[in-house]
Amino acid sequence: MKALLDELKAIVGTRGWTDDETDLEPYLNEWRGVYKGRTPLRVAPASTEEVAAIVRACHAAGVAVVPQGGNTGMCGGAVPDGSGTQILLSMHRMRRIRSVDAQNFSMTVEAGCILADIQEAARAAGRYFPLSLGAEGTCQIGGNLATDAGGLNVLRYGTARSLTMGLEVVLANGTVLNSLRALRKDTAGYDLKQLFIGSEGTLGIITAACLRLFPDPGKLQTAMVAVATAGESVGLLARLKEQLADRVETFELVSDYVFGLVEKHIPDARLPFDRRWPWYVLIEAAGSIDELGAALAKAMEDGPVLDAVIAKNTSESAALWRLRHSIAEAERKDGKALKHDISVPVSAMPAFLEQGDELLETLCPDARLVAFGHVGDGNLHYNVVLPRDRDASAREEEGKRITGAIYDLVTQFGGSISAEHGIGQLKREWLSRYGSDPELEVMRKLKKTLDPAGILNPGKVI
Ligand code: FAD
Ligand code: MLT
Ligand code: ZN
């Protein structure tokens, strides 16, 4: 091991590594505090060639490599295991915007670029990069692609996958696979980049990406509306789409209990209504305030909308967005929840929620449902907090039972047990239970083909 560590240090130079325990601490802990790992060395390469050399050396030594972006992931995918033998490969020094092609509506960026910096670089070129999530000031595009991140604008623009034109990837033996083509059409053989998107660092290290850009959508209007049931929000979305077509960018459902957590834990966070309602939807749409206002007024007249607030300026809009962006932090501060990042067809969401309520009532009437998320994409964070009066082992057993029952229900509705956060360590066992045999078999074969020695992020996904 010592010879390998010396070789890796030499590859990245003095500014590119650390083995100091205090410096390593934040990178070895998953931000929710659920997973903690150990490593003999954190290396931060500054170029694709350095990534390739690191992976080649680790491959020759049979030592595992764990890629890490902003470490904002939800499933423990970016944290090494407890063995103290896995090399942590941090991408933060690879943060160059290689080029922006405004005419082609594309840009090529290194994997360590922070998402917010990419949005800004697109804006500076008069273009729009729509991927947006609460962690955008910290997460990296490599991590976004490795998890196929979703976030707040999927409704109009799709997940990270649909925003990707090409990738540069370092394979498990150190070969650089360059499919960094800025093409909208390319049927020359298999579309290899798709294999790496969403593979959570288990099939290759993403070093650069060519991303799709869009025209500036112009002024976006933000509104918060109140509805009586989560099911009604689905009908509301269909109405808004009929009136505003694809200009609806965001449609986020949040329960009153969840916004109560935000108000409890986040300083100065306040809902803009003078009374409580059961559910709220945060809506963002391109166009004029009058257009969104008219659509919502009609929905109020007809029933589904009980109350509505439209932001009159950017600071009112920012205050509404702050409520939404604070949920993950408020939930973390409130204590550990069983996280279920699930998706079902949008049309099935009302029935899923109804049956989910009944299920929780039967399994654990004292449990609290923490439900929020991207209902417009059929994706909810259907999290559950167990009563605090159980001891640790009873909680663990009960947690597994509840998670299993929720995933059974999701499966009955033709849904997914992981909509946008990935599998990581958290859901590996669940994937092997809920994935179909032929699908799991193909996944295992892919892993074996692309990483026969099993050095890329072992213990994650499959
Ligand atoms: P990391 O956490 O560092 O890594 C995630 C996985 O990708 C790991 O398996 C890691 O090994 C792998 N990886 C990282 N970089 C590379 C690379 N270059 N090559 C290969 N593999 C790599 N997620 C959503 O989808 N939607 C949301 O709305 C959303 N909101 C969030 C809000 C908050 C406040 C927080 C804290 C998180 C949120 N997330 C959300 C989860 C998280 O931000 C995303 O999963 C994000 O895409 C992870 O990026 P990262 O750079 O932090 O990756
Ligand atoms: C969100 O939608 O806010 C994120 O996916 C984070 C979370 O699930 O906590
Ligand atoms: Zn989410």
* pLDDT tens digits along 416-447: 999 999 999 999 999 999 999 999 999 999 99
Write out the DSSP string of 332-358: HHH---B--EEE--GGGHHHHHHHHHH
Tokens (6 digits) for 336:
């550990």
Mean pLDDT, all residues of the chain: 96
Reference 342, options 383, 395, 283, 401; nearest CA is 383
Q: What is the pLDDT of residues 22-64, one digit of tens each?
A: 999 999 999 988 999 999 999 999 999 999 999 999 999 999 9
For residue 67 and ligand 1, the question of a CB distance below 6 A is answered with yes
Residue 389: pLDDT band with limits 50, 70, 90: confident
Q: What angle do CA 164, 165, 166 make, to 5 degrees?
A: 100
* Across 1-5, 349-353, 359-363, 385-389, least confident range: 385-389
Strands 42-43 and 87-90: parallel
For residue 45 and ligand 1, the question of a CB distance below 6 A is answered with no
For residue 71 and ligand 1, the question of a CB distance below 6 A is answered with yes
Residue 129: pLDDT band with limits 50, 70, 90: very high
Is the pLDDT confidence value at 308 over 90? Answer: yes
For residue 40 and ligand 1, the question of a CB distance below 6 A is answered with no
Q: Which residue minimizes the CA distance to atom 6 of ligand 2?
A: 328
For residue 135 and ligand 1, the question of a CB distance below 6 A is answered with yes
Q: Which residue minimizes the CA distance to atom 9 of ligand 2?
A: 328
Scan for tokens 């993403």, then name that residue. 206
Backbone angles phi, psi at 248, to 5 degrees: -75, 115
Is the pLDDT confidence value at 234 over 90? Answer: yes
Q: Determine the Cα–Cα distance for residues 395 and 114; give it in Å rounded to an integer.
A: 37
CA 14, 16, 20, 22: dihedral to nearest 10 degrees? 130
Averaged pLDDT for residues 323-336: 93
Q: Which residue minimizes the CA distance to atom 7 of ligand 2?
A: 328
* pLDDT for position 336: 84
The answer to whether 380 and 338 have CB atoms below 8 angstroms apart is no
Find the 308 Cα to ligand 3 centroid distance in Å: 23
* Across 38-52, 145-159, 311-325, 383-397, least confident range: 383-397
* pLDDT for position 98: 98
For residue 77 and ligand 1, the question of a CB distance below 6 A is answered with yes
Tokens (6 digits) for 124:
């500076």
Residue 303: pLDDT band with limits 50, 70, 90: confident
Averaged pLDDT for residues 118-137: 97
123 contacts: CB under 8 Å, gap ≥ 6: 216
Reference 19, options 31, 33, 30, 4; nearest CA is 4
Find the 316 Cα to ligand 2 centroid distance in Å: 22
Q: Determine the Cα–Cα distance for residues 2 and 41; give it in Å rounded to an integer.
A: 11
Is the pLDDT confidence value at 395 over 90? Answer: no
Q: What angle do CA 31, 341, 84 make, to 5 degrees?
A: 35
Q: Which residue minimizes the CA distance to atom 4 of ligand 2?
A: 328
* pLDDT for position 390: 79
Which atom from ligand 2 is nearest to the alpha carbon of 332?
A: 9
Find the 227 Cα to ligand 3 centroid distance in Å: 20
DSSP state of 102: T
Task: Give percent of the chain above pLDDT 70.
Answer: 100
**In terms of residues, how long is the chain?**
462
Ligand 2 binding residues, C-beta < 6 A: 134, 327-328, 331, 373, 381
* pLDDT for position 391: 83
* pLDDT for position 394: 86
Q: Which residue minimizes the CA distance to atom 35 of ligand 1?
A: 135
Is the pLDDT confidence value at 150 over 90? Answer: yes
Q: Determine the Cα–Cα distance for residues 64 and 345; give it in Å rounded to an integer.
A: 38
* pLDDT for position 216: 95
For residue 171 and ligand 1, the question of a CB distance below 6 A is answered with no
For residue 373 and ligand 1, the question of a CB distance below 6 A is answered with no
Averaged pLDDT for residues 183-200: 97
